[in-house]
Chains A and B, each alone.
Chain A
Amino acid sequence: MTAQVERELETETEELTVREAIRQALREELERDEDVFLIGEDIGEFGGVLEVTGDLYEEFGDERIKDTPISEAGFTGAATGAAATGTRPVVELMFSDFSGVAMEQIMNQMAKMRYMFGGKAEMPVTVRTTEGGGMGAASQHSGTVHTWMAHFPGLKAVAPGTAAAAKGLTKAAIRSNDPVFVFENKMIYEQTGQVPTDEDYTAPIGEAAIEREGDDVTVVATQRLVGESLQTAESIADEFGLEVEVIDPRSLYPLDTETIVESVRKTGRLIVADESPLSYGTHAEIVARVQEEAFFSLDAPIQRVGTPDTHMPFSPPLENEVLPDGDDVRAAIERIS
């Protein structure tokens, strides 16, 4: 268990859904720092299309919870310009698929300004967005694009799998002076978990959390697949007596390579479970780092669980076919154990 998780567990906690945890993080940071404001589509009176901002508008008003035109390039670019000139915007991109509309400002301005200017611009901007299939939202509202941002130099990317991580990472992102993308999986907004109540609790960007300890197989799982992997781990323990270690990297870039490598040195087996498409992605990065650092500790080929390079189809039987889940994690474990 990492020192961070130990610290987190020592503190007082309360049970919250992921949605409530994110909203609490936003509320606390809005209260803590007057430079923080939220900006996005229908996040005000409407409360957010997936109800994350909820009643914050009533509390903080339209100066701090800013409803924008449907104009992702415009308001993401404006947030970038605002971050460079003294405020700390928190952008909501309603669905991560819409980041394509804003991509120019993300990749050429937000990600590059500090570097191109020789460090003479701060870029304290947070971008929250929802990813993932599972609700029949079809291909343009179900994508998992976090690999793009984790790949692109100059951006940090986090993707919580638990309510505690959701709160802690959101707060850490807002307090960071770097551009941080927070990828929220839309299927786990109702998932509950114990969340530290301390207003100064954050989940440091770049620190993984070991959610379940085990000696036999390591599963590095993200977002929705953290919870599903934990369930799978319990049933595998019951059926086969195998103890699966489940790690939520929480932060994709930077990535806590050390925690993952240490686990693989212990277990000799690794499954990487992430909803992004399988080719050229997040899985590949984790696999590459593990083979660099722990090649001779591996007892079996590393397995990947992800979306098999399709878009997310609409019809439930099709969506179920391509969406990775706990059963896919189980099948991967069985292949190498």
Chain B
Amino acid sequence: MDSKKISVRNVTKIFGKSKKALQLLQEGEPKQSILKKTGATVGVNQATFDVEAGEIFVIMGLSGSGKSTLVRMLNRLIDPTDGEVLIDGIDIVKMKKEMLRDVRRQKISMVFQKFALLPHRTVLENTEYGLEVQGVPKETRIEKAMTALKLVGLEGYEFQFPKQLSGGMQQRVGLARALANDADILLMDEAFSALDPLIRKDMQDELLELQSNMKKTIVFITHDLDEALRIGDRIALMKDGSIVQIGTPEEILMNPSNDYVERFVEDVDLSKVLTAGHVMKRAEAVSVEKGPRVALQMMKDLGISSIYVVDRKKQLLGAITASDAKEAMDRNKGIIDILQAGVSTVTPDTLLTDLFEKVSIATIPVAVVDHKQRLNGILVRGAVIGALAGNNDSINHFEQAQVETAVDQEDKEVKSHGTMVPQNPNS
């Protein structure tokens, strides 16, 4: 079997008299004229997409775009008018009630916008609910519910009632309830939309962290583009019941498929979306075994006054300046003697908004290093500003090009190709 956890094929939902409306819809009639002709409202129009196992698939759209209807058709809280919804390759649309119930119990969990907790039950009893209806023995379900509560950080609150908790904590209960029955698929319907911005961001972070351990298949509904870009592996953008574009956050931002998407994304605060990895330029670096003469030559060729120094494993050691190199050359010293350690660095996934300060006070371009301290690239102020201005040339697209790691100059003749243009081929 392939990795497609959920396959949605031409799923359509029409509210009202559907037969005629469905026919018109399939003939390509627009939503408005169908409403005029038949009085039926098109909720979702022939949506088709796949969700891979282990990914966070975000469905985004403004209110009334059909996203909540669409997600409810994935577990048939709303019955589709037409189309197929395959969960693990099995169509649930044609399923009998009893089988559907089993799917809901074992394969799909859901988190709701307004939490939808049971007010007469404690946090623990709420978390147990999914297991309880399956007839799981009391001890087992308490154990599993406690594990889930621990995961969402609600240990110690298990005997409180939902009303006694803040919104953020209530939604953690909602999340714990969904996690408790170990379903592979998590449907999250505007799960964080009712929370205030700071709590929302915390919850997003926690969801991402949980996801990095659990690898659930998550379908996340939101109307908030920033949220979609933050947590989505892929995003489907909906308008008037139709999916207008599906792609990675970057694809959506950089190549909007039509005017609607473009208008939607134009107000995005790029500094909260783009990372150091997106805007870094190829770093020229000199190996520590080389002499100051080579380093000086490189700097001269590149037209720069300082250069980063790496070891054999391309780990960043520090930087040297041209004047130091010249002096070292005159006095027959090695690079190691004039090395300035403790240069400021950032990781490739640092958001631009978090690195402005470092970039603004640094005397030499800030180094981008990965978790093994290997030099990935450098941040040049002009490129950072260019990226913020939406200049596509200033942004690295990871799909085709991985920015070259620090070049080992051993065999290459240094050429003056400048540091401003990203180099394509991965070495």
Q: Do A and B bind each other?
A: no
Binding site for A on B (CB under 8 A): none
